[in-house]
């Protein structure tokens, strides 16, 4: 019997990653084979590109009905409460981030779905993790509720793979930078805001100190990494918790300088807030050699290429 044609459900499709991932999946699988869903209104960039349903991942029955009704074979679960937002309401962040994942994993097991994608984050690392080239396997003691929920989630993914054979795959995203959709309350959001402020105000007041190095990635690389991981043969996937992937590492001062190369009168000030403590607990760079070995991961964008592309697209 020939394999069913894949039909994909993206949960959290109106978010920063969701919008661009949904569009990329529609390009790969065909518009009607990718169902976008979110609690929020449909993002304007998704309108008219394919099916959309309003849905809450916490409502397991409703989710299950949609999976059966739409003949879903793959789920991409992107709905989450991020690091800085999560610290304002830890119980809610834990509940949503965990229960949403367990709902999806349970349904994937019952309906024998082909694949599940769930993102983790560099937030799983803590102050005791190595700061430079943080390895795939290392000391992990997260200090934010977001990081704790992501680390626990990695082990649930591993458990469902080993116990039930659910083909669930994951990437530990660094800070993500995009011009298409707004960031969602993370500690690395400054690296998105700074570009719009540079164009509109010619100045930016940064909530992190000037020499705070963090792992970052330009969204086209993040989307490509996700698709490459999901398209890789199952026997090449050696990590069933979550893969380290790396793009670039830079400080606010360095991103400011890269913008000044294009906007010479751009100025920056610094006023570190509560997010500084979160940033200080994370590694400054990531070792992604395992992802490179298993499925050939390599980033394409560095800081100067990204800055050029961001400013060009935001000007449009």
Which residues are part of the catalytic machinery?
Answer: 146
Q: CB-based burial of residue 163 (10 Å sphere; 0-12 exposed, 13-18 middle, 19+ buried)? A: exposed
Q: Find, among 176, 249, 253, 149, the residue nearest to 211 by Cα.
A: 253
Cα distances (angstroms) measured from residue 90 to each of 15, 75, 119: 20, 26, 19
């Amino acid at each position: 019997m020939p394999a069913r044609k894949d039909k994909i459900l993206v949960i959290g499709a109106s978010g920063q990653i969701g919008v661009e991932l949904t569009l990329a999946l529609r390009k790969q699988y065909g518009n009607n084979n990718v169902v976008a869903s979110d609690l929020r209104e449909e993002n304007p960039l998704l309108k008219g590109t394919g099916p959309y349903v309003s849905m809450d991942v916490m409502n397991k029955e409703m989710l299950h009905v949609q999976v059966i009704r739409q003949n879903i074979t793959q789920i991409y679960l992107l709905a989450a409460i991020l690091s800085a937002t999560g610290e304002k309401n830890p119980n809610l962040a834990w509940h949503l981030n965990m229960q949403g994942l367990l709902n999806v994993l349970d349904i994937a097991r019952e309906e024998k779905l082909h694949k599940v994608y769930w993102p983790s984050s560099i937030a799983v690392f803590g102050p005791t993790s190595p700061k430079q080239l943080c390895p795939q396997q290392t000391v992990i003691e997260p200090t934010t509720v977001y990081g704790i929920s992501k680390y626990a989630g990695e082990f649930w993914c591993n458990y469902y793979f080993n116990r039930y054979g659910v083909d669930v795959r994951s990437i530990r995203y660094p800070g993500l930078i995009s011009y298409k959709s707004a960031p969602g309350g993370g500690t690395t959001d400054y690296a998105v805001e700074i570009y719009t402020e540079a164009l509109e105000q010619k100045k930016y007041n940064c909530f992190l100190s000037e020499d705070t190095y963090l792992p970052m990635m330009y969204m086209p690389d993040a989307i490509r990494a996700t698709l490459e991981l999901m398209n890789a043969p199952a026997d090449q996937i050696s990590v069933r918790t979550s893969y380290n992937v790396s793009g670039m590492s830079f400080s606010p001062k360095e991103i400011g300088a890269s913008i000044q190369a294009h906007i010479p009168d751009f100025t920056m000030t610094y006023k570190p807030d509560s997010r500084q403590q979160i940033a200080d607990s994370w590694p400054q760079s990531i070792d992604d050699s395992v992802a490179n070995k298993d499925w050939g991961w390599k980033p394409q964008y560095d800081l100067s290429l990204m800055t050029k592309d961001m400013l060009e697209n935001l000007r449009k």
